[in-house]
Structure 1
Amino acid sequence: MSDKIEGNLLKDQVYERLAKMISNAELMPGDRLTEAQIAEKFGVSFTPVREALIKLNSDGIIHKIPHKGFYINKYNDKEINEIYQVFVNIQELAIQLIINKLTESDFLEQESIINDMEKACNSNDYKSYLFSNHKIHDYYIYKADNKFLTSIYKKISIMPMPIFYFVAEGDKCIENMQKNISEHRLIVKLIKEKDLDGIRKALINHYGVTYD
């Protein structure tokens, strides 16, 4: 698929494409972003690239170092824990909003996404694995159909968090992915049982959140 961007609202398209690349770990924390490289990759002029970078900067996804350029943010352990605390509460709220509305078809769809994660894991297809991992988290948010919750989630979900299964190597990488899959299966089971306390504990465990 071509990386070229065409049509109107180029700055928004560049923003969305860069945001997706960051959330999919195609661009990693600490990576430098140059206007020239991005403009060439997407086949656009410098102006929409510059506008997109300014918006990413204002959203706290990247930062600018004078005379050097833009860099994707790196977060320390405290900041990562704080971000994941927000993720836990957003996911928990979304599940609370939908827990009494879910049908058997919804659960089959969730199981299908998790099965896709497992297939990708077994074939060492990290990109497909990550796509399905995002998809299962997105499922609860978009199913809740709350525009304010969705807006908050979309902003936080593109933050350049460390992706453990890309950082890890070999057997450790597979082990981490398998653990993640098991946790998602447990969360679906607890949603079926409408066990809200269990769901919160499972989400806290899934994100590895600590509370001081």
Structure 2
Amino acid sequence: MTEDINAKHTEKMKKVQAARKKMMAKKTVTKGLIIVHTGNGKGKSSSGFGMILRCIGHGMPCAVVQFIKGSMQSAERDLLKERFADKCAFHVMGEGFTWDTQDRERDIAAAAKAWDKAKELIRDPANRMVLLDEINIALRYDYLVAEDVAQFLLTEKPEMTHVVMTGRNAPDRLIEIADLVTEMKEIKHPFAKQGIAAQPGVEF
């Protein structure tokens, strides 16, 4: 009985492998991607930072611009600045969440400054990936204009540069132009239902 199950499994996997090889043989194009991580679930920034570390592992220069969380402790920021500053430029441009600053004009000015830095980094073809952490929040509150961001990425992003944008409520225009869009969906979160505080290594 076990041998029969194993034989059927082997035969099935051979077919899957053959189909996979046939599919992959057609995937020959390489290009810099526009990537959006959005949704109400946890993991958007975490995924973006994971991609930055992957780039560093490949020896690819990259950069991070943080639009919102600048005033918060960030283990990712500390690690990248202390150990990988030669591979990843890290720019903290935000001053905290909007409910902390409580000053719309100040938030707009900070977002504009962050976007200027982001454009500078993206224009440099040496940077193979640029992470715009929480830019979607700045767009959601109209601190930046989504069409301006979209047009810049479509017309000025170097061909082989990846740009990753994170944050809830990504505007439709960014989703439209993106090559890769992932929506993180919250199913259960300890902070919301169990009164558990944000913890190092999980949230920051």
**TM-score by structure 2 length?**
0.28
* Structure with larger Rg: 2
**TM-score by structure 1 length?**
0.27
Higher helix share: 1
Higher relative contact order (CA 8 A, sep 6+): 2
